[in-house]
Amino acid sequence: MTESFRRSGEYPQGDDHGSAYPQQQSHPSSSPVNPEWPPPPAYRPAPPVHAEPGTTVWPGSGHGGDGGDGHGAGPYAGHPGSDAAGSTAVFAAPPAPPEGQAPAKRRAKGPFALLAAVAIVAAAIGGGTAYGIQELTGNDTVASSSASASVVPTSQKGTVSGVAKAVSPSIVEISATSNAGSSTGSGVIITTGGEIVTNNHVVSGASAIKVRLNNGKSYTASVVGTDSKKDLALIKLENAPSGLKTATLGDSAGVQVGDQVVAIGSPEGLTGTVTSGIVSALDRDVTVSTDESQGQQQQQQGGSGSEQWPFEFGGRQFNGDTGSSTTTYKALQTDASLNPGNSGGALIDMNGNIVGINSAMYSAASDSSSSSSSAGSVGLGFAIPINTVKSDLASLRAGGSDS
């Protein structure tokens, strides 16, 4: 057998030899066939591409040809040509940046870039929304959250001590002076500007109001608005200090019977007193007087230095006569210990959210036939639901329904 070895490029070319690949002669089936080995390539090898540094070369399946080698442009005889898409493609690199200028970075594309953008937006929303709202609306923004949000540190979540530590700085003692004397109640700081929510009967008829903060410092306050029909009032500190700790108003609609709660207030002038219990019932009808003079009469009769605002429950009167002008509201009932002076203070869930404003307490010795000076809690207290407070804030800021 004759073997023919040729180096690349040694195949016969030019018109002198006819076709680059001579047509094979027909042989009878009995005659041996002696083809060339190795067989010639299907296409003429593409000439090497000389590219400048930085140029990208993508090899193709086709071939080019400029006819400079005697075959003319195009494919070899007997072999179909390929279109331009199959030819070797050369892509020039982008021009270099001017001297001294950093090359431009390529923009990320695809899912990674999308995910990165979403992550950045989510982080901005999660970390900055509350602060942004506070900055836009000023220092009268009220912190409000769902019942599931917690302002108590994780290590102390669900404990009375954790709730007391987190919320006590937001609870104040209120001393109101009127022509009938003075009385003591409590209040809840709701804005850094010094707005405080309390009961209407705590400040009703007051000619002067003093507020003592949890740190012991006292400030003068003035009435912003009152709503005797809901037994609510809004007062504001004059020359309020910076750094006031505001309470977070929760959602009383989510409160259930049996939920553990904490009460903070100033019973008998004992600032920052903490008691605990559970929610005993919902939607209790509590009736209070809307007559300002009724509270003043009880201040004169009580003489204990604490508010003695009359109310009715279950057809009976407590802390004196409510008079003929009354209003009834739906209250949360709790067995957390409440005493005179707790009115206007906070009823708090175990996440540290305010769910009610304490407004009345029952005592066997507090009915109209007994001396109110011997009144004490027997585990029947009442609080105005915080959702009622939130719905009334705009009206209170405008002066309230009594203006």
**List 71, 175, 228, 231, catalytic entry:** 231
Q: Which residues contact 295 (CB under 8 A, 6 or more apart)?
A: 183, 201, 204, 205, 289, 307, 308, 309, 310
d(CA 344, CA 203): 10
66 is catalytic: no
What is the residue type of 38? P
**List 343, 366, 372, 377, catalytic entry:** 343
Q: Which residues pair with 265 in a beta bridge?
A: 273
d(CA 198, CA 355): 14
| CA 89 to each of CA 1, 63, 216, 274, 371: distance values in angstroms, whole numbers, following the listed order | 42, 11, 83, 82, 104
Instruction: Work out the number of other CB atoms within 10 angstroms of the CB of residue 263.
Output: 28
**Phi, psi angle pair for 312, to nearest 5°:** -120, 145
Task: State whether residue 381 is helix, strand or coil.
Answer: strand
Q: Which residues pair with 58 in a beta bridge?
A: 89
231 is catalytic: yes
Task: Classify strands 248-249 and 208-212 as parallel, antiparallel or unpaired.
Answer: unpaired
Q: Which of 253, 255, 266, 129 is nearest to 186 (CA)?
A: 266
**Phi, psi angle pair for 341, to nearest 5°:** 110, -20
Q: What is the DSSP string of 56-107?
A: EEE--SS----STTSS-SSPPTTS----GGGS-EEEPPPPPPPTT-PPPPPP
27 is catalytic: no
Q: Which residues contact 25 (CB under 8 A, 6 or more apart)?
A: none
What is the residue type of 218? S
Q: Are 396 and 234 in contact (CB under 8 A)?
A: yes
Start-to-end Cα distance in the chain: 122
| CA 98 to each of CA 95, 105, 267, 310: distance values in angstroms, whole numbers, following the listed order | 9, 15, 78, 86
**List 175, 201, 276, 337, catalytic entry:** 201
Residues marked active site are found at 201, 231, 343
